[in-house]
Amino acid sequence: MKESSCTWLNLPSLGLSIRMLFTGFLLAAGFGLLMAGGQILLTHGMADGKMGLSVDDIVYSYYGNRNNSRLEAKLNGSMKDMASPEVRLELIKWTRNGASVEGWDSHIKSLFQANCVQCHSVVPGLPDFTQFEAVQEVAKVDEGADISSLTRVSHIHLFGISFIFFFVGLIFSLSVGIPKWLKVTAILIPFAFLIVDVISWWLTKFSPGFAWLTIVGGFGYTAASGFMWVVSLYQMWVLPRNGKVYQLNAWRD
């Protein structure tokens, strides 16, 4: 049998300096991943007002809270006593039908005049409800992430994170003794789930039923890259200590 070359090309046999380089990268990237997780918990995690990430958080973040506007919420909340039930109902209906300027001019303006502007035009800091624009602002439904920010976050996410997965996978590809199917799957999953993740934001933006896909995507690539991270560090620093010499070109394996 012809002797294969590069029999040192595997994680346990690598020289100290390249192991240091790989380790430094894995530690920094792992720390980065923890920070990313923390940021997700703090921004999206609190979107539904409760701690911890849930499907509702993802729906609020991307799809928005479309059956409510600030105006409607207040009319059912702290502004409830400011108008009769009939007037409130009329205001809510107008809001839900898109807060049109025609409705404002013909009728709604007078309801605001009669019930709201004695405070909302004189008290500093409160929106001035003699102005249609101010009413329109609070009558807007929350539509979640807008397209331009979603586009921006999507491409930053895809470019940035695929870089990290590329290096994590490259290092892991030098591991020994992992069944080939497992190795190939572990390397492929993060990229596949990264794409699923980003696509799921867009799907959720248009239909809240897809929010669970975001969780599946995030969980999938975290699990696969976590596995590669642990195996790589173990094979670089723990395996060489048991004295066994691995004569294997891992990139040929």
13, 29, 42, 127, 159 from 184: Cα distances, Å: 21, 21, 34, 58, 21
Q: How far is the CB of 127 from ligand HEC (least distance, A)?
A: 5
By C-beta, is 21 or 123 nearer to ligand HEC? 123
Q: How far is the CB of 85 from ligand HEC (least distance, A)?
A: 11
Query: Which of the stretches 59-67, 71-79, 149-157, 211-219 binds ligand HEC when contact is defined by CB under 6 A?
Result: 71-79
CB 13 within 8 Å of CB 235 = no
Q: Please tell me the distance from the alpha carbon of residue 73 to that of residue 191, in angstroms, as a whole number.
A: 41
* Binds ligand HEC by CB under 6 A, chosen from 10, 13, 115, 173: 115
Q: From the CB of residue 13, how many other CB atoms can be counted at a distance below 10 Å?
A: 21
Query: Which of the stretches 45-53, 79-87, 208-216, 218-226 binds ligand HEC when contact is defined by CB under 6 A?
Result: 79-87
By C-beta, is 70 or 157 nearer to ligand HEC? 70
119 is a contact residue toward ligand HEC (CB under 6 A): yes
Residue 105, CB half-sphere, CA atoms under 13 Å: how many? Answer: 3
By C-beta, is 21 or 122 nearer to ligand HEC? 122
List the one residue out of 176, 189, 179 whose CA is nearest residue 244.
176
Q: How far is the CB of 61 from ligand HEC (least distance, A)?
A: 20
* Binds ligand HEC by CB under 6 A, chosen from 9, 29, 46, 82: 82
CB 204 within 8 Å of CB 211 = yes
List the one residue out of 64, 60, 2, 53 whose CA is nearest residue 215.
53
What the block records as the tokens of 53 is 């990430």
* Binds ligand HEC by CB under 6 A, chosen from 5, 17, 78, 149: 78
Query: Which of the stretches 10-18, 110-118, 200-208, 238-246 binds ligand HEC when contact is defined by CB under 6 A?
Result: 110-118
83 is a contact residue toward ligand HEC (CB under 6 A): yes
CB 201 within 8 Å of CB 214 = yes
Q: How far is CA 57 from the centre of its chain?
A: 10
116 is a contact residue toward ligand HEC (CB under 6 A): yes
127 is a contact residue toward ligand HEC (CB under 6 A): yes
Q: How far is the CB of 126 from ligand HEC (least distance, A)?
A: 5
CB 58 within 8 Å of CB 211 = yes
Amino acid (1-letter code) at residue 107 = H
Q: How far is the CB of 170 from ligand HEC (least distance, A)?
A: 51
Binding site for ligand HEC (CB under 6 A): 70-71, 74-75, 78-79, 82-83, 115-116, 118-120, 126-127, 138
